Amino acid sequence: MSIENPTQKIVETNLSERLRGDMVLRIDRNRACLSRLKEIFDKGDFENLSEQDLVKLGRINDSMSQAANLIEESSNLLGEVVEK
């Protein structure tokens, strides 16, 4: 039977909420971009990607990289809290 550290619990909860909120924002921002790109892929119109579509692809890639970094950062912080 382990005794929970209240400070650890608060930190874990705050990190979890922050991560969830950031992910929801990224998903919402990318939804329109993904919808437009799905239209292009459904038509098979890869040769006619506009500059705007390429920018959207870049934004999605950046957002996914940021999300991965945020997940790694949160995991590291949680690991530090658990170690203490």
- Give per-residue pLDDT as tens, 42-74: 887 677 778 887 887 788 778 777 777 877 877
What are the residue ranges spanned by the domains of the chain?
6-83
Task: Show Cβ contacts of residue 28 under 8 Å, excluding neighbours closer than 6 positions.
Answer: none
The model's pTM: 0.43
Q: If DSSP states are collapsed to H, E and C, what string results for the chain?
A: CCCCCHHHHHHHHHHHHHHHHHHHHHHHHHHHHHHHHHHHHHHCCHHHCCHHHHHHHHHHHHHHHHHHHHHHHHHHHHHHHHHC
- Give per-residue pLDDT as tens, 17-41: 777 777 777 777 767 667 777 777 7
